[in-house]
Amino acid sequence: MNLLILGKGKTGSLVAEIARERRHHVSIAASADNESCAALTPDRLHGIDAVIDFTTPQTAVPHIEACVRASKCIVVGTTGWYEELPRVEELASKAQSGVLYGANFSVGVNLFYAAVQTAAEALRYGYSGQIFERHHKHKKDAPSGTAAKMQHIVRRTSGVEVEITSFREGEVVGMHEFILNSGSDRIYLCHDASSRRGFAEGAVRGAEWLTGKHGLFDFQDVWREL
């Protein structure tokens, strides 16, 4: 595949490295190369099979719109823009391309979501719950997309709105905790990422999966197929 990676940060660079390991041809566009979506015109995207976005919440939706106009698939690993999901879903439904997004592309985190869903049942039996998330000091959105997804899963499962507490410190890759307390015991679930490799590999495999598909897809719904 010919892949265009948006973003030269730590995750974007790792995505490019893994894509090359998987024998894909890779181009990279930094923010300076892509002002006003200059790298995402139909002419510039000629020959590109899929775009992978690890940029900023402010640019994610314009990037999606540009790829849809060019009938190109895009995988969006950027979070913090999900209030625009209804509009993006409408765009994708009419597009001749696919859009794959996810709060987290790590297989481990998606297994963790399943554990959170099971544990959330405790909120129906007298437990109280909290979500904590920790990330590096450079992360621009808070709470994280992963924590927001956890909150949504808990709400959908139990009907209870659980508070999220966010911390930004040092170079923490990403830690998410779901804690349940009762008068008798404490349940503690934690996912602690030791590197960004799991996120990056999931994004590349997501791009492979997306080829030839049309519409909007959530990584949580497709990761088991990978």
Mean pLDDT score of the chain: 93
Of 120, 88, 81, whose CA–CA distance to 103 is shortest?
81
Q: Among 3-17, 155-169, 176-190, where is mean pLDDT lowest?
A: 3-17
Q: What is the CATH number of the domain that holds 208?
A: 3.40.50.720
pLDDT at 193: 92
The answer to whether residues 95 and 119 belong to one domain is no
Does residue 95 carry a pLDDT above 90?
no
Q: Is 19 within 8 Å of 3 (Cβ atoms)?
A: yes
Q: How far apart are CA 27 and CA 71, in angstroms?
A: 18
The answer to whether residues 90 and 29 belong to one domain is yes
pLDDT classification of 138: cutoffs 50, 70, 90? confident
The answer to whether residues 19 and 83 belong to one domain is yes
Domain count, the chain: 2
Pairing of strands 174-181, 128-135: antiparallel
Q: Which of 75-111 are b and which e, b meaning 16 or more Cβ less than 10 Å from the residue's Cβ?
A: bbbbbbbbeeeeebeebbeebebbbbbbbbbbbebbe
Pairing of strands 215-218, 98-101: parallel
pLDDT at 31: 86
Mean pLDDT of 184-213: 94
Does residue 96 carry a pLDDT above 90?
no
Tell me the per-residue pLDDT of 202-225, one tens digit each, with 9 for 90 and over. Answer: 999 999 999 989 999 999 888 888
The answer to whether residues 113 and 96 belong to one domain is no
Q: Which of 179-210 are b and which e, b meaning 16 or more Cβ less than 10 Å from the residue's Cβ?
A: bbeeeeeeeebebebeebbbbbbbbbbbbbbb
The answer to whether residues 172 and 213 belong to one domain is no
Structure-token pair, residue 82: 């999900």
Q: For residue 62, say if its preceding peptide bond is cis, omega within 30 degrees of 0.
A: no
Scan for tokens 């041809």, then name that residue: 25
Q: What is the CATH number of the domain that holds 183?
A: 3.30.360.10
pLDDT at 176: 98
pLDDT at 10: 83
The answer to whether residues 47 and 86 belong to one domain is yes
The answer to whether residues 187 and 144 belong to one domain is yes
Q: How far apart are CA 215 and CA 142, in angstroms?
A: 28
Q: Is 166 within 8 Å of 142 (Cβ atoms)?
A: yes
Residue 9: give the domain boundaries: 2-101+197-225
The answer to whether residues 9 and 91 belong to one domain is yes
What is the distance of C-alpha 4 from the center of its chain? 17
Give the catalytic positions in this structure: 135, 139
pLDDT at 220: 85
202: left (phi over 0), alpha (psi -120 to 50) or beta: alpha
